[in-house]
Amino acid sequence: MRLNHNIHLGYCTNIHRGETWEETFASLKTHTLAVRDKVCPDAPYGIGLRLGFYAAVQLSDPTELAAFQKWLADTNCYVFTINGFPYGKFHGTRVKEQVYLPDWTSTERVAYTNLLFDLIAELSPIETGGSISTVPGSFKEFIHSPSQVDTMRDNVTRCAEHIAKLREKTGKDLHLGMEPEPLCWFETTEETIDFFTPLDSEVKRYVGVNYDTCHLAIEYEDAAVSLAKLRDAGLRISKLHLSSALQLEPNAAALDRLRAFADDVYFHQVIARTGDQLKRFRDLDVALDRATEKPDEIGDEWRVHFHVPVHTQPELFFGDTRSQITGVLDFLRSEPATCQHMEIETYTWEVLPPELRTTNVVDQLVKEYDWCLAAMRERGLA
């Protein structure tokens, strides 16, 4: 949906299963239209589309693409952004570190991302342009030499060249957003700036940052400080993910309850803080095991990479990081041109503990829209 300052808000359809285009299209017809009917029934409705590689290949068939374009027109919907982070399966199987593969050291990642840009160049309205979000280079454990980092930058440059050609052809503002995430090649604001600094200014016209509020909150970063640093470094904010992480004091009761959030599908990186010192744990089960083995080394506060619904505090034992979302919105109130693409992203619906799934997925998404829109109205953004 279009808000003030030409800001466009949608939810990321990675919350729904869909590895083929047929499955993805079915979820749009079933779930996305139901959400639209409740939050934006009388105006054009913006979709944040998730397309894995196989679905993207299938949608690129001219007949399929034309049918989808007709459906968008018939339903008064439009696609302004695509989540191109997960290349392969994203639900119902072990994802974990595989979500970063193929990474930006590989030609497969370049080809996949270029294909997504070919699609969004056809799908997005000229007044919105189109953004694609992607992995932050790689997972730190996968990178063993400076040459790999050089390759990542070379491949990002190749993608920028492809985007530039599409922009010249279509006149649309197309851009890639690399998404900092805990334990990835760049996860903090400073690491993000370090990765981008050697890139040519023309590349940075087309490649910027997908700022996920959950991820940067886990790093204990202040939203206004982070965004100002990225701006001052000349980096574009391609897209904002409005998402919230678990926050807790790691006492015995909270840690015991936290075990219900450990699952075999997604990574749930943990960053523990003691004063100004941060300690990173690869996954939630690793952090919980350390808490059992060495309780004196687990810090005073934990933030957990588990996207929880933004409209409600998880439960008695936990807090959340919604203040990172409102911090971003406060920044946008004074600098609304910072970013025009926003997505609500709570992809963990299927692995939430049952007590946090007290309604169906459509009603949850509607409540998330309500919370985000209320916060944006308070700041003159909607």
CA gap 377, 67 in Å, rounded: 36
Residue 172: pLDDT band with limits 50, 70, 90: very high
- What's the confidence (pLDDT) of residue 296? 84
How large is the average pLDDT for residues 303-309?
A: 95
Given this model, what pLDDT does residue 101 score? 94
Q: Is residue 355 scored above 90 in pLDDT?
A: no
Please check the confidence at residue 91 and state whether its pLDDT lies above 80.
no
pLDDT > 90? residue 93: no
Question: Does the pLDDT of residue 185 top 80, yes or no?
Answer: yes
236 near 267, Cβ under 8 Å? no
Q: What is the DSSP letter of 30?
A: I
Given a cut of 80, whether residue 95 has pLDDT beyond it is no
Residue, of 91 and 211, whose pLDDT is higher: 211
**Helix, strand, or coil (residue 124):** coil
Closest CA to 343 of 82, 84, 11: 11
Over the chain, what is the mean pLDDT? 95
Give ∠ CA 176-181-182 in degrees, rounded to 5: 165
Residue 291 in any domain: the answer is no
**How confident is the model at residue 290, as a pLDDT?**
94
Helix 223-232 and helix 322-334, axial crossing angle in degrees, nearest 10: 50
Mean pLDDT of 73-86: 97
Residue 317 has pLDDT above 90, yes or no: no
Phi-psi domain of 366 (left: phi exceeds 0; alpha: psi -120 through 50; beta: other): alpha
Task: Give 40's pLDDT tier (boundaries 50, 70, 90).
Answer: very high
176: enclosing H helix or E strand: strand 174-178
Q: What is the dihedral of CA 18, 23, 24, 29, to 10 degrees?
A: -130
Question: What is the model's pLDDT at position 6?
Answer: 96
Closest CA to 204 of 175, 184, 228, 181: 175
pLDDT for position 344: 98
pLDDT tens per residue across span 202-242: 999 999 999 999 999 999 999 999 999 999 999 999 999 99
Give me the amino acid identity at 137. G
367 lies in some domain = yes
Q: How confident is the model at residue 312 (pLDDT cuts 50, 70, 90)?
A: confident
Q: Is 255 a domain residue?
A: no
- Model confidence at 357, pLDDT cuts 50, 70, 90, reads confident
Exposed, middle or buried, 293 (CB in 10 Å: 0-12/13-18/19+)?
exposed
The pLDDT > 90 percentage for the chain reads: 90
- pLDDT score recorded for residue 354: 83
- Residues 284-301 have a mean pLDDT of 92
Tell me which residue range forms the domain holding 54: 4-244+321-378
* Count of domains for the chain: 1
**Sign of torsion over alpha carbons 202, 12, 226, 178:** negative
What pLDDT is stored for residue 307 in this prediction?
94
Q: What pLDDT does 88 receive?
A: 85
Q: Which two tokens stand for residue 179?
A: 């998404």
Is 43 inside any structural domain?
Answer: yes
Any domain includes 284: no
Evaluate whether residue 307 is within a structural domain.
Answer: no
Residue 285 lies inside a defined structural domain of this protein: no
pTM here is 0.96
CATH no. for residue 9? 3.20.20.150
Whether residue 44 has pLDDT greater than 80: yes
Alpha-helix runs per DSSP H in the chain: 21-27, 33-39, 53-59, 62-75, 107-123, 146-170, 189-196, 203-206, 213-218, 223-232, 252-258, 284-293, 322-334, 361-378
pLDDT of residue 134 exceeding 80, the answer is yes
Residues 6+ apart with CB under 8 A from 318: 246, 247, 248, 254, 257, 258
Residue 326 located in a structural domain: yes
Whether the pLDDT of residue 316 is over 70: the answer is no
